[in-house]
């Protein structure tokens, strides 16, 4: 197998519904998942940033902000894990030969993220509730959040690595013999693009949260909003540089396909929407508009990611034939349960709002 591993053979994929339905559900569920991934990773960064400001400038307000954000972050971690199941299911349905193969190649690293997430989750709770006499310590257990951040940086790196490896079958043999993540094409700019995007999106979330938290005093709310605004603006400006580095780090054939097709429209709209959000922040514009355009920007980036994925797999998808053996009862059951999950999410947010606001 290893001698021919870089050549994906002709094969047939049996589906229980039209392929377009699974492709839509894959993109939609990934969008839900990536929102909470960004909020989790960006949330941990913002907590540590607040602790740094508190320690450096002796401003106790930022210590209060860090403590408040840690409560929300436990929900984000839970929702990140919960929403990860569906997109993993659909990518296995559509491209199991690719994603399964790459997962096998980095098997130990890939499986280790389960333990990393579990440890990070409980460490976040230790910091949140100040267990083991941490409330009597000045740092308040910041070291636990540092470990949580490192573990999620590792988890994110494995996710990015596996995704990139799955769309580059030509390097499977080399990576199987000697795993070197830095040799995976575009790994560094892709990873930085992911991290910086998380900080920017979390900045918008913090602004929304600061306005929704009626029980906070005005000083905390004001500084929390300014924190979120600055996080978005500076992260987005940096993202422009990293984003274009990421674009042109692709193989020439890939980035030419992107800029000569629909990808160019998506990139232009993403840049324009981002600049408009910065303008709204500077002019103290509508937070509702900021939220709407923030979500639209994320949607565009997810679609662009999907388009790039298709361009990478295009030479190999010629060998793939989808055959549908319709079993709509299974699809209907999934959709019913999925809708129930969304309703439960809405109820959860309502409870969080009621208890925390």
pLDDT recorded at residue 5: 44
Contact 16, 327 (CB under 8 A): yes
Q: What is the largest CA-CA distance in the chain?
A: 65
DSSP label of 325: -
Of the candidates 83, 85, 94, the residue with the CA atom closest to the CA atom of residue 23: 94
Query: pLDDT tens across 38-87, in order?
Result: 999 999 999 999 999 998 888 889 988 998 898 888 888 988 998 998 89
Q: Please identify which residue in the block is written with the tokens 């993540």.
A: 181
Q: What's the confidence (pLDDT) of residue 264?
A: 92
| Domains, the chain, with CATH or none | 18-324 (1.20.1630)
Reading the block at residue 35, the tokens are 């929102």
Place of tokens 């053979």: 9
The answer to whether 228 and 206 are in contact (CB under 8 A) is: yes
Alpha helices in the chain (DSSP H): 19-57, 60-105, 107-129, 142-166, 172-177, 187-212, 218-248, 252-259, 262-282, 287-317, 328-356
For 234-291, what is each residue's pLDDT tens digit? 999 999 999 999 999 998 889 898 988 888 999 999 999 999 999 999 998 889 999 9
DSSP 10: P
pTM score, whole prediction: 0.87
The whole-angstrom separation of Cα 173 and Cα 170 is 7
User: Could you give the CA distance from residue 206 to residue 351 in angstroms, rounded to a whole number?
Assistant: 19
**pLDDT tens by residue, 179-227:** 888 888 899 999 999 999 999 999 999 999 998 887 788 889 999 999 9
Consecutive H or E run containing 321: strand 320-324
Q: Nearest CA to 296 among 163, 204, 223?
A: 204
Residue tagged 């392929």 (tokens): 19
| pLDDT tops 70 at residue 28 | yes
The average confidence (pLDDT) of the chain is 86
Residues in Cβ contact with 143 at an 8 Å cutoff, skipping those fewer than 6 apart: none
Structure tokens at 87: 């997109």
Q: What angle do CA 157, 163, 167 make, to 5 degrees?
A: 140
- Residue 114 C-beta-side C-alpha neighbours within 13 Å: 5
CB distance 114 to 125 below 8 Å: no
Half-sphere exposure of 106 (CA within 13 A, CB side): 26
Q: Are the C-beta atoms of 169 and 101 separated by less than 8 Å? A: yes
Residue appearing with tokens 């307000």 = 61
Strand partners, 13: 322
């Amino acid at each position: 197998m290893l001698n021919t591993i870089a050549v994906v053979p002709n094969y047939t994929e049996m589906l229980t519904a039209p392929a377009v339905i699974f492709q839509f559900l894959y993109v939609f569920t990934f969008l839900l998942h990536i929102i909470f991934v960004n909020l989790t990773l960006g949330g941990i960064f913002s907590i540590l940033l607040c602790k740094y400001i508190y320690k450096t400038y002796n401003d106790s307000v930022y210590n209060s902000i860090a403590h408040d954000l840690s409560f929300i972050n436990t929900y984000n971690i839970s929702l990140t894990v919960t929403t990860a199941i569906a997109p993993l299911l659909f990518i296995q349905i559509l491209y199991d030969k690719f994603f399964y193969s790459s997962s096998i190649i980095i098997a130990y690293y890939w499986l280790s993220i389960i333990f990393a997430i579990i440890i990070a989750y409980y460490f976040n709770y230790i910091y949140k509730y100040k267990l083991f006499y941490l409330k009597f310590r000045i740092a308040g257990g910041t070291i636990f959040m540092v470990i949580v951040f490192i573990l999620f940086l590792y988890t994110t790196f494995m996710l990015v690595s596996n995704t990139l490896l799955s769309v580059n079958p030509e390097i499977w043999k080399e990576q199987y013999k000697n795993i070197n993540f830095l040799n995976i094409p575009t790994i560094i700019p892709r990873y930085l693009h992911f991290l910086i995007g998380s900080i920017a999106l979390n900045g918008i979330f913090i602004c929304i949260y600061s306005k929704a938290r009626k029980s906070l005093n005005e000083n905390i709310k004001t500084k929390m909003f300014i924190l979120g605004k600055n996080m978005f603006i500076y992260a987005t400006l940096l993202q422009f540089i990293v984003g274009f580095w990421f674009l042109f780090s692709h193989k020439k054939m890939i980035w030419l396909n992107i800029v000569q097709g629909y990808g160019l429209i998506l990139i232009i709209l993403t840049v324009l929407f981002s600049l408009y959000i910065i303008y709204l922040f500077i002019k103290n514009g509508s937070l509702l508009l900021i939220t709407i355009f923030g979500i639209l920007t994320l949607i565009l980036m997810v679609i662009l990611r999907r388009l790039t994925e298709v361009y990478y797999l295009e030479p190999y998808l010629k060998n793939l034939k989808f055959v549908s053996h319709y079993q709509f009862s299974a699809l209907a059951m999934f959709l019913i349960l999925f809708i129930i999950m969304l309703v439960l999410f809405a109820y959860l947010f309502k409870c969080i709002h009621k208890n925390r606001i």
